[in-house]
Amino acid sequence: MLTKLLSGDTPRSSLLTVILLIVLVCLAFAPFLFPGTKSLETAARICIFIVLVASYDLLLGYAGIVSFAHTMFFGIGAYGTALALSATGPSYVSLAWGTLAGAVLAAVFALAIGLFSLRVKAIFFAMVTLAVASAFAVLVSQMSWLTGGEDGLNYKIPRELTPAFKLVEEKVLDVRINGKLLAYYLVFFASAFLFLVMLRIVNSPFGRTLKAVRDNAFRAEAIGYRVVWYRTTATVLSAVMAALAGSLLAVWLRYTGPATTLSMEIMIDILLMVVIGGMGTLYGAVLGATLFILAQTYLQNLMGIASEATSAVPFLSTLVAPERWLLWLGVLFVLSVYFFPSGIVGRLRAGRA
């Protein structure tokens, strides 16, 4: 049953299986295992970025396409939901059609980019996507009458998904059963479903053909596969999944702005998560997103504790000062690439083999 649910793509490593199960259990019971607003925000962000990173890995790891427009699709999904809720009120109908509109618009943009750009060499396609994403971010910032500009949009979501809604008056295991908890589980189950859909896609005949195109496009073309069609389809599927992840973020934050969806920093973070977890392995998206977001959230606090503990050693305490957390995050990334060149999942599977 589990093998069927995972589309036949099992972790193929005992240690990897244990790690993935730990991540799954921690995310599934995060509100009860790690009470507190910050922990819940971190868990929800991990769920959303697992989908976003997996959708980019579908493009980069399985199709071999380097794109810098992924945050554009992420932002289209978020703004689609935000604009629908702002325009027609906090209803589930608005939420549904806004999410659908964002996914469709992302698919149209991806189709246009794919048809006009995927015939060129990889570096030129990457530059085209970078130019399109930059232009879209500037356009969103300047259309303040529609998108709120740099300030973004604040809006209401259905009351059942807000902290004001209480499903049970009394606390359960010291946790309030309110709309915020329901919103988290909406994000969790939607993310799990989208991840399983992508796992099914990459393990289908379509996914295996994508790998063939990635490994040798000329040979795939020679034996009859329409390479541009497969690459364009992969681009569209990846864009739709990224847009749906953006919609989940819009629901969770109740705010959408350029800084939260369209910034180049997010694109770089996605690339780092894919490389850390392992390209061409959707399980790498789970590990990469989890480790990276945990480091982003808690590394500065841990360094503050380390700095206080080593206050008697001036040089060492200065070296681990909290304001240098980005430096050490970079060091951790360099070390992970050095010791895990094929990503964490690739290394664990190679060790198993």
pLDDT at 216: 83
10 Å CB burial of residue 61 (0-12, 13-18, 19+) is buried
Domain ranges of the chain: 12-26+42-352
> Which are the contacts of 64, defined by CB distance < 8 A and separation ≥ 6?
122, 213, 214, 215, 217
Render pLDDT for 164-210 as a digit per residue (tens, 0 to 9).
888 877 777 778 888 899 999 999 999 999 999 999 999 999 999 99
Q: Side chain identity at 336, as an amino acid letter? A: S
pLDDT tens, position by position, 212-248: 988 888 888 888 888 888 989 999 999 999 999 999 9
Is residue 73 within 8 A of residue 67, CB to CB? The reply is: no
The label of the residue with tokens 């699709």 reads 73
Helices (H), 29-91: 30-33, 37-60, 70-88
Topology of 12-26+42-352 in CATH?
Answer: ABC transporter involved in vitamin B12 uptake, BtuC (1.10.3470)
Q: What are phi and psi of 294, to 5 degrees?
A: -60, -40
Residue 226's identity, in one-letter code, is R
In angstroms, the Cα distances linking 264 to 22, 68, 69 are 31, 8, 9
Cα–Cα distance between 32 and 34 in angstroms, integer?
Answer: 6
Residues in the chain: 353
H/E run at residue 256: strand 255-256
d(CA 314, CA 329): 22
Query: Are residues 170 and 270 in contact, defined by beta-carbon separation less than 8 angstroms?
Result: no
Residue 333 token pair: 């990334």
Verdict on whether the full-model pTM lies above 0.85: yes
pLDDT (0 to 100) of residue 351 = 67
